[in-house]
Every structure is written in C-alpha cells, then in structure tokens.
Structure 1
Amino acid sequence: MSLLHRVPDEPSDAELDAIEAEWPLIAAELDLLDAEISILNADDRGGPTVLDWRRLRRAEAQVTRVAVELASTATVRKAVA
C-alpha cells in the first residue's frame, strides 16, 4: 500500500477538538436514543408510561437546545474569524 493512501491510526488534534466541541450534542442524542428505545420496548411492560413520554419529550428538547447553542456558537466563530 502506498504511503499516500495510508489512513492515520489516530485522529488529529483538530478532529479531537471538533469531537469535544460537539460532545454535548452527541450526549443529548444518545439520551434521546435511549428514551426512544425505552418507548419501543415498553410493550414488555404493558406500554409506555407517562414518565416514558416525558423523558422522550425532555430528551428531544435537550437535543434541540444543544443543537441551537452549537449552531449559534459556530456562527459567532465564523463571524469573528
């Protein structure tokens, strides 16, 4: 294999910084996924409870809040740069 096509074994510092900056959104999306899975598996418990639906709505709202915050932060960075 040519050295030109070699894939690095580890992410670069810039890639790690990007992941760290997006981590709050990643965590919020994982919480949302967990709430969705809980709703899907609720049939085993007799159906979703009021708390299951509340958890889902809160997780959806958190994803929205974090996404807006990240988008506004990115917009400010672009305007400053």
Structure 2
Amino acid sequence: MRKHLAPVAAAPTAADLAAIETEWPLIAAELDVLDAEISLIYAEDHGGPSPLDWRRLRRAEARVTRAAADLATRTTDTRRAA
C-alpha cells in the first residue's frame, strides 16, 4: 500500500525563516561541535588528538549549552510577553 505524502511548499514562509533565524546560534554551535568531533576522528590517524583538540571540543560543547540556554530564555520571555 502506498502512502501519500503531504505536499511540500515551494519556499519557506516568513515564519519558517524567522524560526531558523532565532535558532541559528544553536545550529551554528552544534555545527562547531560536529567539526571538533570530526577533527578528533582524523587526529586518530596522526598520533591521537592533542590537548588542543580536546579543548576545542569542550569549548564547542560549552557554546552549545550557552546557546541552548539563551534560546530557552528567549522563547520563554516571548511566551510570557504574549
């Protein structure tokens, strides 16, 4: 049996773009973590990760935590104002 998929809009709406803009700091921070993790994987081929590689990962993870907390605060403040 074939399931029918919902039609996809041709372009994102203004609300979609606003949501992405609001979440972008968190998205960028998560991309930094991914990049640091990839660097750790590649470092395994060259003698293992250095202390600098681990530091980079810890800092990226801290940025994710800060960005998530900031996003949660802004989302909560917006809901209270409404």
After TM superposition, is the score higher than 0.5?
yes
Q: Work out whether 1:43 is the aligned partner of 2:44.
A: yes
Pairwise CA distance, 1:41? 1.5
Greater share of residues in helix: 1
Residue 54 of structure 1: aligned partner: 55
Residue 22 of structure 1: aligned partner: 23
**SS state of the match for residue 48, structure 1?**
coil
- Counterparts of 1:65-80 in structure 2, within 5 Å, are 65-80=66-81
Residue 14 of structure 2: aligned partner: 13
Identical columns (%):
61
**SS state of the match for residue 20, structure 2?**
helix
Moved runs in structure 1, 4+ residues, more than 2 A?
A: none
Distance 2:77 2:65 in 1: 18
59-68 or 37-46, larger mean C-alpha shift:
37-46
Q: Number of residue pairs matched? A: 77
5+ residue gaps, structure 2 = 1-5
Distance 2:22 2:55 in 1: 28
Distance 2:52 2:29 in 1: 18
RMSD: 0.9
Residue 3 of structure 2: aligned partner: none
Pairwise CA distance, 1:26? 0.5
